[in-house]
Amino acid sequence: MIHNTKNYDYLIVGAGPFGSVFAYEAAKRGKRSLIIERRSSIGGNMATHKEHGINIHDFGAHIFHTDNKYIWDYINQFSEFNGYINQVIADYKGELYNLPFNMNTFHQMWGIKTPEEARNKINEQKNAAKVTGLPKNLEEQAISLIGTDIYTKLIKGYTEKQWGRKATELPSFIIRRLPVRFTYDNNYFNHRYQGVPVDGYTPIFEEMYKSDLIDVQLNTDFFSDKEKYISEFPKIIYTGMIDQFFDYKYGELEYRSVRFESETYESNNKQGNSVINYTDAEIPFTRIMEWRHFDKKGDDGYTILTKEFPQDWDRTKEAYYPINDEKNSELFKKYKKESLKIKNVIFGGRLGNYQYYDMDQVINAALKTVHREFGE
């Protein structure tokens, strides 16, 4: 089968943010791309759809947040964003706490009121737990940041079900994604720019593909004809799993997967917040999203809630999160080294780079790749 029918300059494997930004930028520079996507939808894990006028995020809640004004302006050229600020509630066995860890959480946990009292309490608990020196894992990092009470009630259970392994076996950077602050501020992110697109994320991708120089082919698996694709296209942007590209020759990288269960209710407001995290170990899901609270949109009398269940990954499931522990990082290095030898394939995105990227970081990485590719 001949794939490169239109003398495409690029084959882009995966219609997620990395590949789509690359295609858009290449088209701006007069280059033609074919995007192939295994799934029947565009946008990768950012994909959204509408039900009862409500924007549903198909692969879990995506809130755009960044400190980078350039990236914020960049994504805003494709859609208007609302002013949504993420404020998450944690439910631990029926006790409710504000997240991220801030003066509200400390007050709810300990009844204290001032930043000084909070710092003293945390130091007391950190010293009692004998956590000193550089934290060696997520558990030590968490205790040294916010003490044992919060670690036990809000982190340990959630983290261990989310990742399917002990908090002592996870890298500390994962918990540093969450702010710890000594003010009464429930904003889940520290970034200056934040929001969700008013019509969901999928229209952003449709907007990116408007150029005649971009074609998109859904339901098309690169691996069904890998060698042919490689031989027919001058250059490939590959955003799938890097270990799969090399036929797992050094072994499988580990990923974490999730699955979702959604339900529609005849109500305008069921749980009172867009996201509630269930932080104890016994409840099998990590969080429940109520989509209408992300953008205050939806037909009157309908609300849709989605439960997120973490699950082990195997080749039949979608890979959501790379597990950047020591073992996998070593393995990734081998694949990375291999990938650098192949001059006509660029690896990018969460799966191609095995990195826990946020959306703004993927876009930034894609734009850097574009500049390198075009010698700018």
Chain residues binding ligand UDP by CB under 6 A are 90, 99, 154-155, 158-159, 162, 174-175, 177-178, 277, 279
Structure tokens given for 208: 């990116």
Within its chain, how far is the Cα of 114 from the centroid? 34
Minimal distance, residue 153 CB to ligand UDP, in Å: 10
Q: Which of 32, 39, 256, 292 is catalytic?
A: 256
Phi, psi of 224 (to 5 degrees): -75, -15
155 vs 241, which CB is nearer to ligand UDP? 155
Q: Which of 37, 140, 358, 360 is catalytic?
A: 358
99 vs 242, which CB is nearer to ligand UDP? 99
Long-range CB pairs of 3-9 (<8 Å, 24+ gap) are 3/34, 3/225, 3/228, 3/229, 3/232, 3/233, 4/34, 4/232, 4/233, 6/32, 6/34, 6/215, 7/32, 8/32, 8/33, 8/34, 8/215, 8/233, 9/33, 9/234, 9/235
| 177 has catalytic annotation | yes
Q: H/E element holding 104? A: helix 103-110
Minimal distance, residue 239 CB to ligand UDP, in Å: 18
Alpha helices in 133-284 (DSSP H): 138-150, 157-163, 202-208, 226-232, 242-245
6 vs 166, which CB is nearer to ligand UDP? 166
| 10 has catalytic annotation | no
300 vs 326, which CB is nearer to ligand UDP? 326
| 238 has catalytic annotation | no
- Inter-residue contact 200 to 62 (CB < 8 Å): no
Minimal distance, residue 199 CB to ligand UDP, in Å: 22
Minimal distance, residue 92 CB to ligand UDP, in Å: 9
Q: Which of 302, 338, 356, 373 is catalytic?
A: 356
277 vs 339, which CB is nearer to ligand UDP? 277
172 vs 202, which CB is nearer to ligand UDP? 172
Q: Which of 32, 287, 292, 350 is catalytic?
A: 287
Minimal distance, residue 315 CB to ligand UDP, in Å: 22
Phi, psi of 152 (to 5 degrees): -70, -40
Minimal distance, residue 177 CB to ligand UDP, in Å: 4
Is the preceding omega at residue 100 within 30 degrees of 0, hence cis?
yes
| 225 has catalytic annotation | no
239 vs 279, which CB is nearer to ligand UDP? 279
DSSP for 255-316, written as a single string: EEEEEEEEEEESSS-SSSSSEEEE-SSSSS-SEEEETHHHHT-S-TT-EEEEEEEEEE--TT
Nearest to 351 by CA among 272, 245, 202, 261: 245
Q: How far apart are CA 113 and CA 105, in angstroms?
A: 10
| 181 has catalytic annotation | yes
Q: Which of 38, 165, 176, 181 is catalytic?
A: 181
| 165 has catalytic annotation | no
- For the CA atoms of 348, 71, 293, 180, the dihedral, rounded to the nearest 10 degrees, stands at 90
> CA distances (Å), 350 to each of 96, 207, 283, 360, in order?
33, 22, 28, 12
Q: Which of 70, 116, 119, 177 is catalytic?
A: 177
Q: Which of 254, 308, 357, 360 is catalytic?
A: 308
| 308 has catalytic annotation | yes
Q: How far apart are CA 209 and CA 103, in angstroms?
A: 45
Q: Which residues are catalytic?
A: 177, 181, 256, 287, 308, 356, 358
